[in-house]
Structure 1
């Protein structure tokens, strides 16, 4: 396959428009336009969601029942945008270096395997570069949904790498896009998800494998010349 421009396109142009987010807890308690995919598999409510309960407290004759709300942190959109911006800069630099330093443009062929999480580039029938892949997620064209690899039980464990670290990072910092198993795959959300994931994983770069029905988004690691 001739790769020019290489299939490591960055999707960074879609990161500049403003978006809105809501409390990620109510469907978890979702509102506005930050909804997960309508057909997503439900998962337990994140620990950072509001925990509302009723309890009996002393007072009057026999006490009274009051509403008790344990308000834990909710999504900070400004923080998320700053994280995305910083990740875009770092990943963009590594992406450019990966392409230029290893000659991943022009008449380059490649092959990859999820079974051993490997990718190999060749030119003129000779391998010149090996690497390791982590599947970040996939986009289903028909359903227009993104699915995180950590939520896809059909994948071999090897290709998941440390992807769980991305979900844990999302839970720690209250970033819903990193916690929902699936969400509507508009260009901006996909770009943000893959770029922040690549940054959390300290990947050398990103790789897109387009398909007729499903696109696969990989992080590239551990590049070595043959």
Structure 2
């Protein structure tokens, strides 16, 4: 299928990826948001979605048959409309989410203070990261000083003001993004949109919050944010050592 066939023209947002949601999600609010993960596309940015009412009918029928499909009346919408619908309809315990983020920040701050002091992170002249080896290296005058094993958390785009988890980023190698799926699993188990979904509207603070959650989840010893032309790349540090 060509890129043009995968896109839909939205009267509000222009040309965008075509996504599929039930009729109730299209204009509803607080309807619940259930998604169908395709085992052949486990990292799909916008999996097909339907509301709690449709999910109840689907459970009664046991499959997507004529009755369930007629009740859902699946609509084609653009990616931006999909994300807006998801935010309107998603159910989550905000108090529990905020507590998780706060606890994660406390964890990362303690680890980060030790990491920065032990390896003098703010004093080195240069840093470079390498996907092929999963390393972040700090150096001085062309000589490596500190070598870190890292996992990518995700990226914040200053162009679109969105967050994307590393596991959903096709430009990242599996070596550096695989462990970010641990946060997705946590988000799915607790029904937290920001942890479970590939991409959503965000700001740089969201990037640090997601980094803190992943650091705590993986037991990281620190974190690092690398600037890019389009925003920032966030990563957590599993281990570090002085090269010499």
- TM-score for the superposition, normalised by structure 2: 0.64
Q: 1:189 to 1:125 in 2, by over 3 A?
A: closer
RMSD: 2.9
| Aligned-partner Cα distance in 2 for 1:163–1:95 | 19
For the residue of structure 1 that corresponds to 2:228, the secondary structure is coil
Q: Where does structure 1 lack aligned partners over 5 or more consecutive residues?
A: 1-24, 32-39, 57-72
| Aligned-partner Cα distance in 2 for 1:84–1:161 | 21
Q: Deviations over 1:87-129 (max 9, x none)?
A: 1101100011000011112243222101111111223443222
Q: Where does structure 2 lack aligned partners over 5 or more consecutive residues?
A: 1-23, 31-43, 62-89
Mapped pair 1:127 → 2:144: yes
| Aligned-partner Cα distance in 1 for 2:242–2:223 | 18
Within a 5 Å distance, the mapping from 1:101-112 to structure 2 comes to 101-112=118-129
The number of residue pairs the alignment matches comes to 177
- TM-score for the superposition, normalised by structure 1: 0.69
2:165 to 121, 139, 148: 148
The residue number in structure 1 matching 2:236 is 219
| Aligned-partner Cα distance in 2 for 1:81–1:163 | 20
Within a 5 Å distance, the mapping from 1:151-166 to structure 2 comes to 151-166=168-183
| Aligned-partner Cα distance in 2 for 1:134–1:86 | 20
2:220 to 184, 203, 206: 203
For the residue of structure 1 that corresponds to 2:238, the secondary structure is strand
* Structure with greater proportional helix content: 2
